[in-house]
């Protein structure tokens, strides 16, 4: 059971609105987003419910939900929302806040998704571009799932779908510098 009325101002709602530029209060729970969302059935709470949870100020629940990790930012929902709420932005805001305040959803799926993104970013950091083969390999190693998609590998490699090398950036250090500054900016906030 959830007890309401115990917390004072709904600071969580304000934070989300501020970060996303959307106004969650506009949501009138029609559910069009849920039917639209391609991954809503994989979410602990579909978008509509997340919106309500934000309205109720349920910070923990929203942070720990896998919903914002599953959001593909495909913008189908916002395109159909009768109140034109930027739902992906809201999801992104919740995710970023969760990351900033180190809330860790420990379900393996979310862990994998998160791992993938981290590896991806590290790839760019290292090469300035994405190195697909290496990324896949690393992903499989880090997620302790060596043979995932291995059945595709030979075919893909054979057909040159996935190149063996990557042409790294001339000024890769420009990227590293960018990373450094960006991270500093994150902290500043």
Site for other proteins, residues 42 to 71, rule: CB under 8 A: 42, 46, 48-49, 70
Min CB(6)–other proteins separation in Å? 25
| Structure tokens belonging to residue 155 | 């075919």
Restricted to residues 8-37, the positions that interact with other proteins (CB under 8 A) are 28-36
Helices 132-142 and 108-127 meet at what angle, rounded to 10?
A: 140
The residue within the footprint of other proteins, chosen from 40, 62, 67, 105 (CB under 8 A), is: 40
Q: Note whether 1 binds other proteins by CB under 8 A.
A: no
Cβ-contact 67, 44 below 8 angstroms: yes
- Cβ proximity to other proteins: between 64 and 111 the closer is 111
Q: Note whether 186 binds other proteins by CB under 8 A.
A: yes
- Cβ proximity to other proteins: between 13 and 97 the closer is 97
Contacts of 46 (CB under 8 A, 6+ apart): 33, 34, 37, 40, 67
Q: Note whether 104 binds other proteins by CB under 8 A.
A: no
Cβ-contact 12, 52 below 8 angstroms: no
The helix (run of H) or strand (run of E) holding residue 106 is none
Place of tokens 């530029």: 21
Min CB(152)–other proteins separation in Å? 6
Q: Which of 103, 134, 106, 105 is nearest to 120 (CA)?
A: 134
Restricted to residues 125-184, the positions that interact with other proteins (CB under 8 A) are 128-130, 132, 135-136, 139, 148-149, 152, 155-156, 159-163, 166-167, 169-171, 174-175, 177-179, 181-183
Min CB(50)–other proteins separation in Å? 12
Give the contact letters, 71-100, x = binds to other proteins (CB under 8 A), - = no.
-xxxxx-xxxxxxx-x-----x--xx--x-
| Structure tokens belonging to residue 123 | 């790839």
- Cβ proximity to other proteins: between 61 and 132 the closer is 132
CA distances from 146 to 21, 107, 131, 173 (A): 41, 19, 18, 31
Min CB(94)–other proteins separation in Å? 12
């Amino acid at each position: 059971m959830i007890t309401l009325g115990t917390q004072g101002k709904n600071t969580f709602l304000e934070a989300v609105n501020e970060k996303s530029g959307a106004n969650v209060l506009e949501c009138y729970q029609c559910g069009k987003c849920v039917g639209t969302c391609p991954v809503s059935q994989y979410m602990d709470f579909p978008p509509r419910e997340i919106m309500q949870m934000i309205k109720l100020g349920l910070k923990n629940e929203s942070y720990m939900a896998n919903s914002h990790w599953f959001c593909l930012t495909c913008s189908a929902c916002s395109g159909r929302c009768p109140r034109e709420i930027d739902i992906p932005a809201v999801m992104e805001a919740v995710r970023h806040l969760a990351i900033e305040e180190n809330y860790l959803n420990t379900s393996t799926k979310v862990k994998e998704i998160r791992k993938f993104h981290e590896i991806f970013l590290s790839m760019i950091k290292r090469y300035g571009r994405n190195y697909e083969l290496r990324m896949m390999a690393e992903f499989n190693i880090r997620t302790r799932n060596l043979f995932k998609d291995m059945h595709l590998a030979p075919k893909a490699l054979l057909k040159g779908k996935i190149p063996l090398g990557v042409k790294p950036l001339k000024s890769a250090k420009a990227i590293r510098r960018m990373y450094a500054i960006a991270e500093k900016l994150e902290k500043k906030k």
